[in-house]
């Protein structure tokens, strides 16, 4: 999501989005909804195939909180992506270096490879600023028979944290995108190469 506007800029379509009567936030929201539908379908397919191939045992007592955590994590991640979309426009190619620099540490800290509870408390607490961390930790606790023993925080706290991060990132994205729109109108060079 964060690189979407950058790619539109590279393909020459960003000027059309900026000139459109709709705000960039609404355009990105439409892209995010399409991406969320695709991500949800992909997650369901991989969960189904992974269950068949690896004989994974799930013990979901409450499906509603599990799906709620999934969609809250998606909302927070897409809010973060929309927030970074403005940085991609501002930094252009340099943003790719930042992505390459932070990609593996984010995977490591988010609990993507192993439960985040394995880290010292303050490292896990700092990693909780990444929505994927709390989302994976809460889903792990809700979906597996012994998931709660590997949980960093109680699920209720993680749901509240994800809701807070969702609101924070979406509001920040709105302000950052409005700033980039103002910059584009003032300098008239957002869609041009910065040299």
Per residue in 30-66, pLDDT (tens digit) is 888 888 889 889 989 998 999 999 998 888 888 999 9
The mean predicted confidence, pLDDT, of the chain is: 86
Q: What is the mean pLDDT of residues 69-96?
A: 84
DSSP assignment of 37-95 equals HHHHHHHHHHHHHHHHHH-PPP--S-HHHHHHHHHHHHHHHHHHHHHHHHHHHHHTTHH
Give the whole-angstrom CA distance, residue 139 versus residue 67: 9
**pLDDT in the model for residue 26:** 85
Which stretch of 2-6, 80-84, 144-148 has the lowest confidence by average pLDDT? 2-6
Q: Of the candidates 79, 85, 126, which has an alpha carbon nearest to the alpha carbon of residue 106?
A: 126
pLDDT band at 2 (very low <50, low <70, confident <90, very high): low
Angle between helices 4-11 and 24-54 (to 10 degrees): 120
Cβ atoms within 10 A of the Cβ of 5, count?
A: 27
What are phi and psi for residue 12, nearest 5 degrees?
A: 90, 10
Distance CA 121, CA 152 (A): 8
Show Cβ contacts of residue 195 under 8 Å, excluding neighbours closer than 6 positions.
none
In this prediction, residue 1 carries a pLDDT of: 67
SS3 188: coil
| Residues above pLDDT 90, as percent of the chain | 44
Going from N- to C-terminal start, the domains of the chain cover: 4-187
pLDDT digits (tens, 9 = 90+) for 116-171: 999 999 999 999 999 999 999 999 999 988 888 989 999 999 999 999 999 999 99
Continuous segment of H or E residues that includes residue 169: helix 155-187
The reported pLDDT for the residue numbered 138 is 95
Residue with tokens 């991640």: 77
């Amino acid at each position: 999501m964060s690189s979407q506007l950058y790619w539109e800029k590279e393909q020459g379509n960003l000027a059309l989005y900026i000139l459109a009567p709709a705000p960039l936030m609404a355009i990105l929201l439409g892209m995010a909804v399409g991406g969320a539908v695709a991500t949800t379908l992909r997650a369901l397919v991989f969960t189904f195939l992974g269950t068949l191939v690896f004989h994974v045992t799930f013990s979901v007592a409450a499906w509603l909180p599990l799906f709620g955590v999934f969609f809250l994590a998606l909302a927070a991640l897409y809010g973060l992506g929309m927030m970074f979309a403005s940085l991609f426009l501002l930094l252009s190619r340099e943003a790719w270096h930042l992505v390459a620099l932070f990609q593996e540490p984010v995977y490591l800290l988010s609990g993507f490879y192993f439960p985040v509870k394995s880290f010292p408390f303050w490292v896990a607490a700092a990693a909780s600023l990444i929505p994927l961390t709390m989302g994976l930790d809460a889903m792990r606790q809700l979906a597996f028979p012994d998931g709660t023993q590997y949980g960093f925080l109680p699920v209720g706290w993680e749901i509240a944290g994800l809701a807070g991060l969702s609101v924070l990132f979406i509001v920040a994205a709105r302000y950052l995108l409005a700033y980039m729109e103002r910059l584009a109108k003032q300098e008239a060079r957002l869609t041009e190469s910065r040299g």
